Amino acid sequence: MSVAFSFSCTGVRAEPYAAGPTLVFRLALDAGAEVRVHALVLQCQLRIEPARRRYNPAEKAALRDVFGEPAQWGSSLNPIQFAQVSLTVPGFTGRTEVDLSVPCSYDLDVCAGRYFRALEEGEAPLLLLFSGTAFTGDRGFQVSPVPWDREAVARMPVAVWRQMMDQHFPGCDWLRLPREDMDALLDYRSRHGLPSWEATVRALLATAGGPLLQGSRP
């Protein structure tokens, strides 16, 4: 017989000591009073639920390439896959709390990254969906699945996302390019004796001219 697990998220923080950008979700797990859980192997899918918050004009403009024009948002504001991770929970009786670590991409070609970057304030609405296998029983082991309808709502402060990215890439964003374009940039940088990638991009922008240079440092 399966255990009626329930899950809730009690907080989200940026992990300061991770090798790359990592969020840590604090999870509370409840198996029911006096239920002995020897171990719990979980798969967790994290999904952004964009329809669960309001957006200011600047955020709406920044999200046009994700959801289209605001007039279309009634049909285009669909959930976004954020991450999928696994977690092994050690034994407990009744209730426990654990940390779920979620590595994050800084690649702005990833839809979730563009969404988080566009937000200026408030919270990002997330839904955590659980499945897995439970090993339970007072005497011996009983193996049962974690029901597929187990989920938890999380409200991640936008400030936590920004703090995480600033810990690893202060004041920077990242752009992925095809290898042939990177080779061309390397050749351009070498031929012009430019000392950094920032100088290389600024030289190209200066050649192109236009509003992209407004506010640039000399």
The domain that holds 31 is classified in CATH as 2.60.40
The DSSP secondary structure of 23-40, one letter per residue, reads EEEEEEEE--TT-EEEEE
Residues 161, 13: Cα–Cα separation, whole Å: 8
- Total domain count for the chain? 2
In a domain, 92, yes or no: yes
Write the secondary structure of 77-135 as one string of H (helix), E (strand) and C (coil).
Answer: CCCEEEEEEEEEEEEEECEEEEEEEEECCCECCCHHHHHHHHCCCCEEEEEEEEEEEEE
pLDDT (tens digit per residue) in 49-77: 999 999 999 999 999 989 999 999 999 99
**How much is the pLDDT for 169?**
84
CA angle at 171 for the pair 155 and 101, rounded to the nearest 5°: 40
Residues 154, 190, single domain; the answer is no
| Residue 112 dihedral angles phi and psi, to the nearest 5° | -60, -40
Residues 46, 26, single domain; the answer is yes
- Counting as low any pLDDT under 50, the low residues of the chain are 213-218
In a domain, 218, yes or no: no
**How much is the pLDDT for 1?**
58
SS3 (DSSP) at 139: coil
**How much is the pLDDT for 52?**
96
Residues 69, 140, single domain; the answer is yes
**Paired sense of beta strands 95-103 and 123-136, if any:** unpaired
CA 37 to centroid of chain Cα atoms: 29
Residues 85, 114, single domain; the answer is yes
**How much is the pLDDT for 170?**
83
pTM here?
A: 0.83
Residues 101, 183, single domain; the answer is no
Residue range(s) defining the domain that contains residue 200? 179-213
Locate 198 and state its tokens: 């920032």
